[in-house]
Structure 1
Amino acid sequence: MNNPSKISVLLITYNEINHIAEVIKNVDFADEIIVVDSFSTDGTLEKLAKFKHVKTICRAFTNFTEQRNFAIKQANFNWILFIDADERIPLELKNEIFEVINSNKNVAAYMFKRLYFFKKKRIRFSGFQTDTTYRLFKNGKVKYIENKLVHEMPEINGESAILKNTMLHYCFDSTAHYKSKMEHYAKLKALELHKKGKKTSVFQLLFRPFYKFVVNYFFRLGILDGKEGFQICYLSAYGVYFRYKELERLNNI
């Protein structure tokens, strides 16, 4: 890690055949690209094999936090850039990344703002308008908090800042894709709650999903995103319901 401006790009993947080639090309500015894949079965690994400059590691998936912490340990350079397969870095953001890592600022981590797309349509509201996520870190300054199994949160040793330019997030290709992701996240969140000894109640099963929908669709203006906004807000609420049904199942085992 002797060059302070070299970047290790890290991805964790599973069945990303629709995105993997494009995202690898999008981060071709990296000094190394490391993919930690959970034994994809859709051709993702075969596509990755065609990129000779990409290091692919197959590792069984337990949860997002564990997978990200494992990926961090593989990085060889001073800066780590995490990107998901369905995210893209526009030229303006790429230039800003290089600007900050060469600035000698005493900042250990940077957050990115994201623009969401659902079925190729830009989503401006529906709860996504204030979305930010940590994506750029100094190596050795970050570790993901181990008891957060989903919506993982990094523990930063140092100052953090937010970049001006935005990342693009083509998060869901279809309603079925969104539903499957909501169920996957809900299962991990339910397991996290189960480990903390939490219980399911009628309030959580009925009121929390309803509240989630009302807030995102009306107060966070999902209604202005058209039919896609309704679908997103409905499925986000469904994810909350599914979380507590899964928690109920775990508690009854």
Structure 2
Amino acid sequence: MQKISALLITYNEEKNIKRFLDDADYADEIILVDSYSTDRTIEIAKTYPKVKLFQREFTNFSDQKNFAIQQASYEWITFFDADEHIPASLKEEILNTIKSNTSADAYYVYRKFYFKNKVLNYSGMQNDKAIRVFKKSKNRYKNNRLVHELIQCDGVVSKLRNKLDHYTYSSSEEYRNKLTSYSKLRAQELRMKNLKPNFFHFQVKPAYRFFNHYILRLGFLDGKEGYVISKLHADSVKNRYVFLNKIYEAEASQLINKNA
């Protein structure tokens, strides 16, 4: 059986860390890269003998995850998030897949999306998936993505049959705060592309995002939660351009002060 490195990046994951570490009992080592948590994340992690702890300032998700990959000792890697739970059926499938000397170099895992402890079957979440199992030598996160990071696989990508449980947030405010942090990082990405926001970005794109989640992706079938999720994602799209505009304003102000 080939050995496995289970990777995780954290910041104040006290409420999730124990579940993750218990789920990762299949791994031969657990690499935890923490962004200087101020809660009990580190205290809890240190009670697990397989954990190898690194603390590092957070710049963006891709950079932090690529650093974690570099610390892995073994070729096969699993890289789940702290708010994801690995059911026994998925864990067994992962182990059997690696044991079978598969020809694939990376695997997508579909996610069952929970919001306020309710499963959302629609709202754009029905086909949600991410690469969570892969070979170290064939995969890296794309450096041009600061948020919603994507694996770039130099090989064959397949998918696993069993789903993981994705426990997102227990309140709308908690989810809004997370989306806001994503919007700020996305704004930085857009600035690097020199995008100038206009009416289309501020009004049309957010409206379409709501329509896409709530109507096209059947969010209305998820009831109140479907509406809330659709609205939060629409607000997140608008916020990215608000933050982008603030970046340009700050740059213009610095230029004026420099020339004064």
TM bracket, shorter-chain basis: over 0.9
CA-based RMSD of the aligned residues comes to: 1.0
Question: What amino acid is the match of 1:35?
Answer: L
Report the counterpart of residue 255 of structure 2 in structure 1. none
Alignment partner of 2:66 out of 69, 93, 97: 69
Question: What amino acid is the match of 1:96?
Answer: E
Contact 2:28 2:50 in 1 (8 A): no
Q: 3-state DSSP class of the match of 2:5?
A: strand
Q: Quick check: which one's helix share is greater?
A: 2
1-structure distance, mates of 2:65, 2:163: 22
Q: 3-state DSSP class of the match of 2:102?
A: coil
Alpha-carbon shift at residue 226 of structure 1 (Å): 1.3
Alpha-carbon shift at residue 51 of structure 1 (Å): 2.0
1-structure distance, mates of 2:160, 2:224: 31
Question: TM-score scaled to structure 2, two decimals?
Answer: 0.94
2-structure distance, mates of 1:26, 1:143: 24
| 1:36 aligns to 2:40 (yes or no) | no
2-structure distance, mates of 1:41, 1:173: 20
Identity across the alignment (%): 45
Gaps of 5+ in 1: none
Alpha-carbon shift at residue 91 of structure 1 (Å): 1.0
Q: Which runs of 4+ in 1 moved over 6 A?
A: none
Q: 3-state DSSP class of the match of 1:143?
A: strand
Alignment partner of 2:84 out of 69, 87, 111: 87
Alpha-carbon shift at residue 15 of structure 1 (Å): 1.0
| 1:161 aligns to 2:155 (yes or no) | no
Report the counterpart of residue 6 of structure 1 in structure 2. 3
Contact 2:89 2:162 in 1 (8 A): yes
Contact 2:9 2:64 in 1 (8 A): yes
Q: 3-state DSSP class of the match of 1:5?
A: coil
Question: What amino acid is the match of 1:10?
Answer: L
Larger Rg: 2
Question: What amino acid is the match of 2:166?
Answer: H
Question: TM-score scaled to structure 1, two decimals?
Answer: 0.96
Report the counterpart of residue 241 of structure 2 in structure 1. 244
Alignment partner of 1:204 out of 193, 201, 204: 201
Gaps of 5+ in 2: 251-260
Alignment partner of 1:109 out of 88, 102, 106: 106
Question: What amino acid is the match of 2:82?
Answer: A
1-structure distance, mates of 2:42, 2:242: 34
